Chain A
């Protein structure tokens, strides 16, 4: 097991470097001079040259990339062009907000998704099935920003139950988490339903029934564990989606998380900032996938043998 985990971590290193390289090249192709961005349009040309020199902007791209990677390995992602602060500090400030939001959203999506998937599968082709699936389909189809605005209109403006924007207490996180969680709850519910239905068609389900187990013991005890193994994997991939969704949700609800600083970095063409956030997000997605594989191996006894 430990060998398996170490192997997976080692594999993810080249992935990260690859992502960093692509990013670096792309961001360097984009027009615009960092110095003008920092200092404004009307700066003297000799000053521009001085700053370019100081920031090593005239070195060949590969050398700059190598320097960037070496610094990044030490946790130094450079200095934001705009704020003149360490990128790593800014990420460290934003990240907890995103973690909080994503965590609540995952909770919401599991708590809505898995039970409705089970209910829909057990009551296949009935009104309950259709109602749950319709509700979850709505979550998948509604864009987060639109659902977010709608929720703000109804619950904050009309009913005044919850605050519109901000990040000061748990109450502020309720609406964004539900909106974000709902978007992935649909996927979880549909996946749970189809996997459970498939799982219930297995021969071992007949064995469990022939043993004399009750229907609920058959579903929960024998079918569900098999059905949830693929759901767990997809859930970890959903972390990537949720982070993506968090970008929009954070913007709508005014939460200063990773998504917000990434969007701001794009608007400001703040290269080190953008590079730092994207690279960091990539690392989280990779970590999420690794976690999924570990949980998978833990749930499915056949996996560890195959990984050998």
Chain B
């Protein structure tokens, strides 16, 4: 169980403070896949890196709490935090092309994670790596152990990354756009593999993506992020059946649907605001088609509308359901 509570990660640039993650609360229950959705630059990746405390300067975690099974991570010492990275929480990245070190064999890079976190000897780590390669569907795992990253395809490299991340059977796997750089068939295989591993190892997955189709297929629960804030959160079925926030409906409207009547794809006007120059009031208000005058003045709270469904918008009232 991973609990991120009221997390604020800000970037202190020469032009001002950018609140990349602003008061974000995300809970990842055991054995579940939780999606975090949003456009580029909305703070998804920074949230993920904050969990591992790998945000690099000028970014810094300002406040909040991140707990793994009740243990606070933000106050842990450097060595204690390193013992968690790659062992209890691990991460895979968007770019399988550049995420592996080109000068070492992939086998060595995976077994490095094993020898680091267990007291396995070299030979044993090697055996476990080959086993892991087999588990993630790498053909000829013994031979691939000695391959260098440039000798593998993007899909295989991402499998290697997954093998590395899963090598120590982590409680939580953070997948940051794991399939964005891959082609569609490979994407399907990788997603299938992740779902399989979730069931087999009981690992929870935090899936970061901008692709709602992927969320529908994979996730149990979804958070929608915009400009560093959670805008809406709901059970996956609830979100797709009954999306409330104009930003979420906008995202959903931007997906082409086969079979339905032919109509113009909806797109959200404008661009994500600069974090250094956020609009007054609701952060989405300048792009929102349904904004009322109040939206430009004050920022709404994230409020529950029904069980497990919360939205940050003045158009909806508490619990009583949608007041449209």
Which residues does A use to contact B, with CB under 8 Å?
202-204, 206-214, 222, 225-226, 229, 299-302, 305
Contact = CB atoms under 8 A, between A and B. Distances in A.
Contacts of B116: 211-213
Given A212-B87, A213-B116, A206 B99 contact: yes
Contact of A207 (B82, B83, B99, B103): B99
Contacts of B164: 207, 211
B91 A226 contact: no
Contact of B103 (A209, A301, A305): A301
B150 A302 contact: yes
14 contacts: A204-B99, A206-B99, A210-B86, A211-B112, A211-B116, A212-B87, A212-B117, A213-B116, A222-B101, A300-B102, A301-B102, A301-B148, A302-B148, A305-B150
A210, A213, A214, A229: most-surrounded residue (chain B CB, <10 A): A210
A300 B149 CA distance: 12
Nearest to B114: A211
Contacts of A222: 101, 104
B145 interface: no
B264 to A, nearest CB: 38
Contacts of B2: none
Interface in B181-202: none
B150 A206 contact: no
B13 to A, nearest CB: 15
A209 B150 contact: no
B54 A208 contact: no
A248 to B, nearest CB: 37
Contacts of A213: 82, 86, 112, 116
Nearest first, the 9 closest Cβ-Cβ pairs linking A and B are A212-B86, A212-B85, A211-B86, A203-B98, A204-B101, A301-B148, A210-B91, A203-B99, A212-B82
B54 A203 contact: no
A210 B148 contact: no
Interface in B77-130: 79, 82-87, 90-91, 93, 95, 98-104, 112-113, 116-117
A300 B148 CA distance: 10
B113 A212 contact: yes
B161 interface: yes
A203 B79 CA distance: 22
Given A203-B99, A212-B116, A302-B102, 20 more contacts: A204-B99, A204-B102, A206-B54, A206-B93, A207-B100, A209-B54, A211-B112, A212-B82, A212-B83, A212-B86, A212-B87, A212-B117, A213-B112, A225-B103, A226-B102, A300-B103, A301-B103, A301-B150, A302-B148, A305-B150
A226 B100 CA distance: 12
B52 interface: yes
A305 B113 CA distance: 28
B157 to A, nearest CB: 11
A214 B112 CA distance: 12
B79 to A, nearest CB: 8
Nearest to B101: A204
Contacts of B100: 204, 207
A123 to B, nearest CB: 13
A214 B102 contact: no
Contacts of A212: 82-87, 113, 116-117
A210 B98 contact: no
Contacts of B90: 210-211
Nearest to A203: B98
Interface string B163-183: 010000000000000000000
